[in-house]
Structure 1
Amino acid sequence: MDALLTPLNWFSQNILQNPAFFVGLLVLIGYLLLKKPLHDVFAGFVKATVGYLILNVGAGGLVNTFRPILVALAKKFSLEAAVIDPYFGLAAANAKLEGIGFISVATIALLIGFGVNILLVALRKLTKVRTLFITGHIMVQQAATISVFVLILIPQLQNSWGAWAVGIICGLYWAVSSNMTVEPTQRLTGGGGFAIGHQQQFAIWFVDKIAPFLGKKEDNLDDLKLPSFLSVFHDTVVASATLMLVFFGSILLVLGPEMMSNAELIGAGAYNPAKQAFFMYVIQTAFTFSVYLFILMQGVRMFVTELTNAFQGISSKLLPGSFPAVDVAASYGFGSSNAVLSGFAFGLVGQLITIALLVIFKNPVLIITGFVPVFFDNAAIAVYADKRGGWKAAVALSFISGVLQVALGAIAVTLLGLTGGYHGNIDLVLPWLPIGYIFKSLGVIGYGLVCLFFLLIPQLQFAKAKDKEAYYRGEVQAD
């Protein structure tokens, strides 16, 4: 048994949980299957891996720029609350699992879930699933949170079968939810050849369906008529830097230099009054956001191009008709240049209004906004909504997402009994919060019903498709 587990654990820790090398490995295999020259195979591997590492630098920089400000806010106003952020949520989930003696379940479940996803794609003629979820770090976060849902709400599974139960439902969720994004993403990218495997797949599917009823796609954010002096905001760098200057500037001024100079509290993001004026620190912090956003976009362009080309080999030889489900940031380069920032801004407004209502009505759980949900969820929602329903849909749906993230996140924290954080991304409140109540009410029977629900979704997608072969190719069909 150890002979089998040792290489599997090595693969999980070094490749599967490191998405840059996982993507690079897929590109290498894909190009080999396409019988590319070895130097092209090597070049593709390097470009895909480096591109994803660049994306990680951008995404990590965005998170690290924002998180010290959240910590300082909580400290200044003595907030004992849950942060809705997958990294805080991962820590809270691991603490909960450790408390019941199941800390290793999530790692085992991740491997089982990935195997389930591969099996569902391999049996695509039967399952109608076309997507392989390859965003490893997201799988780690979700495996931990879903482990809490299953093991806490269905105590009967707190045994040797627990890891299998978590792994199976993780694999079903990854495969089915990413499969739901094929048509929306093909429409957005003009046949880009990939799907989304992140934290908002159900939301993307819903937005793609509802956005046309909220506005006209012709009235998109790129074509929005702005006064001449505002035309500079069509430039992503200028728009992001200005928005963050207003946003971060306001918060940092409230916090003040004394709070932000607390190195023990803030860490690497601390303000050093001996080296810099505070207003310059504010400007630098705001502009740094724009820098990391630009870096993220460059990384996306590099790895998506290589992965899309190479996956043709995997799709034709190993998993026929499959699509890679990648980080949602890969979609940003195909939508309006203003959609990402609009989604962030209006999603944040929705979150802050809802947090204020929690305080006013003295809700027992206070939520603190986290950067990952407020940016990645709401930016993606705005990108897809703008494509289908223009700026009105983008504004309305990203705002509603912000409200739901906070309101339902507060309920999820209570349901699961978590301390300090919750995952917070939109899919982890819808559909996972209702799923949690099904688990709590019906136990193992509820678990079985949820598994059947996931399996039914691609069958319904396939049944609705007018051209069945076009469905397998991911071609967009008339609604």
Structure 2
Amino acid sequence: MEILTSILNWFSQNILQNPAFFVGLLVLVGYALLKKPAHDVFAGFVKATVGYMILNVAAGGLVSTFRPILAALNFKFKIGAAVIDPYFGLTAANTKIVEEFPDFVGAATTALLIGFGVNILLVALRKVTKVRTLFITGHIMVQQAATISLMVLFLIPQLRNAWGTLAIGVICGLYWAVSSNMTVEATQRLTGGGGFAIGHQQQFAIWFVDKIADKLGNKEENLDNLKLPKFLSIFHDTVVASATLMLIFFGAILTILGPEIMSNPEVITSGTLYSPEKQSFFMYVIQTAFTFSVYLFILMQGVRMFVAELTNAFQGISSKLLPGSFPAVDVAASYGFGSPNAVLSGFAFGLVGQLITIALLVIFKSPILIITGFVPVFFDNAAIAVYADKRGGWKAATILSFCSGVLQVAVGAIAVALLDLANFGGYHGNIDFEIPWVPFGYLFKYLGLAGYVLVCVLLLVIPQLQYAKAKDKEAYYRGEAQ
């Protein structure tokens, strides 16, 4: 018995509490089950593990770069600030878990595996559950597992025990399965029977847009007729887009804070202190803003590196276990089926909605300042515009992407307050993690375990309602829009 206990303790300390090696182990096991050659199994393990280590290095860089600005904002204005972006949110959630819930450092990674298993089970029992989709977008699963882990641990104290990780995994799996299932008909309609669903950050929003867009406009008056400025095309490049946004927002913030505060060692106790003797403040502002983009790029590269292996392992397992199911993939897969103008118009009108709402936060002296992040303002609003344009033309696309921008900032500020993330500099920010996840968070906070059970039941009921409303039950399983 002692030998077994020692083995379990070693595994817990060295693997479960070290997400990089746990992810590598998942890939190793997945590739072994797929009977890949030994050298491919080893290579997959190495790339997955090193990729996650790169993510950790970049996340540490984001924290060290942002904390001096947070300290300065708190010193001068007594406010906190957060970037609404899933990569900043991933860093903030993991940092808060490490500092406040050290026993759950590996919870998100373990929950990812449990959640994937739950998703497989729900699809395997689709005649009962009515779930048809398997969520396989690995980097999104990593981000969401971290945010959901923080929500459950922070808001439901009763689950800060051995059952906590299992509870996180179950609710992750339910969300991935049910939310992606909600996008089947909308995506089949958009793609003309493309045979896939969306597994990203906007599933609830896509379902809502598909239901309401035709009431806001005419699909014949689509975005192909809307002329957009050519300069917006530069935002197709994620490096240019993220660096530009960081420069606009952090450049403005640093300019307002001024060189006196940013060079004060009593305020800036961590990160890079501005040194007037070595650099002009103008160059310091540009360098700091671009540094965010550098670490964000490194983080995304690390994520892509380990997720490519993780997704291959998951896809192989799912194709063997669940033939005929719909893969839920990255939302970018839908862009090619919409108007060429939809992606950029969604970005533009969503950004306008965000900027107006940020201005209102400042005007009304909100204790939390929200800073725009690239992923929500681009991907959420692009997806909304693509789906809305298909059903309701340019009017629906512009109205709904603008409203999405407003919600991302307004509800994002509420989420930062709810999870006490102002000192950690980030929140997930994507539209599904505004609605429904912020309301879910309040159910967790005020109802505790009962709120958790209520959310799980609600998620299980949604596909039952979808099936009940389908006129042709067999067509429902084929994903045909009715």
TM-score by length of 2: 0.71
1:360 and 2:363 correspond = yes
1:321 and 2:324 correspond = yes
CA distance in 2 between partners of 1:5 and 1:403 (Å)? 47
- 1:444 corresponds in structure 2 to 449
- 1:87 corresponds in structure 2 to 87
Contact persistence 1:373–1:426 (CA under 8 A): yes
Cα drift, residue 94 of structure 1: 3.5
Contact persistence 1:340–1:380 (CA under 8 A): yes
Distance 1:5 1:181, change over 3 A: farther
- 2:267 corresponds in structure 1 to none
Contact persistence 2:219–2:392 (CA under 8 A): yes
More displaced stretch, 173-182 vs 462-471: 462-471
CA distance in 2 between partners of 1:184 and 1:431 (Å)? 19
Cα drift, residue 457 of structure 1: 0.6
Distance 1:102 1:337, change over 3 A: farther
CA distance in 2 between partners of 1:223 and 1:334 (Å)? 16
Instruction: Give matches, 1:424-443, under 5 Å.
Output: 424-443=429-448
1:413 and 2:416 correspond = yes
**Which of these residues, 391, 416, 422, is aligned with residue 388 of structure 1?**
391
Contact persistence 2:245–2:373 (CA under 8 A): no
- 1:270 corresponds in structure 2 to none
Name the amino acid aligned to 2:180.
S
CA distance in 1 between partners of 2:71 and 2:389 (Å)? 34
- 2:373 corresponds in structure 1 to 370
Percent identity reads 63
- 1:184 corresponds in structure 2 to 186
**Which of these residues, 350, 362, 373, is aligned with residue 353 of structure 2?**
350
Contact persistence 1:128–1:458 (CA under 8 A): yes
Distance 1:97 1:350, change over 3 A: same
CA distance in 2 between partners of 1:384 and 1:205 (Å)? 9
More displaced stretch, 124-133 vs 72-81: 72-81
CA distance in 1 between partners of 2:454 and 2:252 (Å)? 51
- 1:146 corresponds in structure 2 to 148
CA distance in 1 between partners of 2:253 and 2:417 (Å)? 30
Instruction: Give matches, 1:396-407, under 5 Å.
Output: 396-407=399-410
1:120 and 2:119 correspond = no
**Which of these residues, 461, 466, 474, is aligned with residue 469 of structure 1?**
474
Name the amino acid aligned to 1:88.
F
Instruction: Give matches, 1:92-241, under 5 Å.
Output: 92-96=93-97, 98-104=99-105, 105-224=107-226
Distance 1:190 1:6, change over 3 A: farther
Cα drift, residue 101 of structure 1: 3.3
Distance 1:225 1:88, change over 3 A: closer
Q: How many correspondences in the alignment? A: 447
Distance 1:211 1:322, change over 3 A: same
Secondary structure of the corresponding residue to residue 223 of structure 2? coil
Contact persistence 2:78–2:367 (CA under 8 A): no
CA distance in 2 between partners of 1:95 and 1:247 (Å)? 23
Distance 1:158 1:249, change over 3 A: closer
Per-residue CA deviation, residues 209-265 of structure 1 (Å, 9 max, x unaligned), is 111111111111123368xxx689899979x99999899789969978x99xx9xx9
Cα drift, residue 428 of structure 1: 0.9
Secondary structure of the corresponding residue to residue 193 of structure 1? coil
Cα drift, residue 468 of structure 1: 1.4
Distance 1:330 1:102, change over 3 A: farther
* Aligned residues: CA RMSD: 5.4
Distance 1:367 1:232, change over 3 A: closer
- 1:337 corresponds in structure 2 to 340
Secondary structure of the corresponding residue to residue 366 of structure 1? strand
Distance 1:132 1:29, change over 3 A: farther
Cα drift, residue 87 of structure 1: 2.0
Contact persistence 1:195–1:323 (CA under 8 A): yes
Per-residue CA deviation, residues 339-361 of structure 1 (Å, 9 max, x unaligned), is 11111111111111111111111
Secondary structure of the corresponding residue to residue 327 of structure 2? strand
- 2:275 corresponds in structure 1 to none
CA distance in 2 between partners of 1:246 and 1:145 (Å)? 23
Cα drift, residue 416 of structure 1: 1.7
CA distance in 1 between partners of 2:244 and 2:402 (Å)? 21
Cα drift, residue 15 of structure 1: 10
User: Structure 1 stretches of 5 or more lacking a match?
Assistant: 33-37, 54-60, 268-273
- 2:55 corresponds in structure 1 to none
CA distance in 2 between partners of 1:358 and 1:253 (Å)? 15
Cα drift, residue 98 of structure 1: 3.4
Contact persistence 2:408–2:431 (CA under 8 A): yes
User: Structure 2 stretches of 5 or more lacking a match?
Assistant: 52-57, 264-269, 273-278
Per-residue CA deviation, residues 300-348 of structure 1 (Å, 9 max, x unaligned), is xxx9xx99xx97x978752133111122222222222111111111111
Contact persistence 2:335–2:383 (CA under 8 A): yes
Name the amino acid aligned to 2:125.
L
Distance 1:188 1:80, change over 3 A: same
Secondary structure of the corresponding residue to residue 347 of structure 1? helix
Distance 1:16 1:118, change over 3 A: farther
Name the amino acid aligned to 1:375.
F
More displaced stretch, 113-122 vs 187-196: 187-196
1:379 and 2:382 correspond = yes
CA distance in 1 between partners of 2:232 and 2:197 (Å)? 29
- 1:58 corresponds in structure 2 to none
CA distance in 1 between partners of 2:108 and 2:170 (Å)? 12
Per-residue CA deviation, residues 417-440 of structure 1 (Å, 9 max, x unaligned), is 223421111111100111111112
Cα drift, residue 103 of structure 1: 3.0
Contact persistence 1:97–1:148 (CA under 8 A): no
Cα drift, residue 201 of structure 1: 0.9
Contact persistence 2:67–2:271 (CA under 8 A): no
CA distance in 1 between partners of 2:366 and 2:178 (Å)? 35
Name the amino acid aligned to 1:214.
L
- 1:458 corresponds in structure 2 to 463
CA distance in 2 between partners of 1:345 and 1:142 (Å)? 26
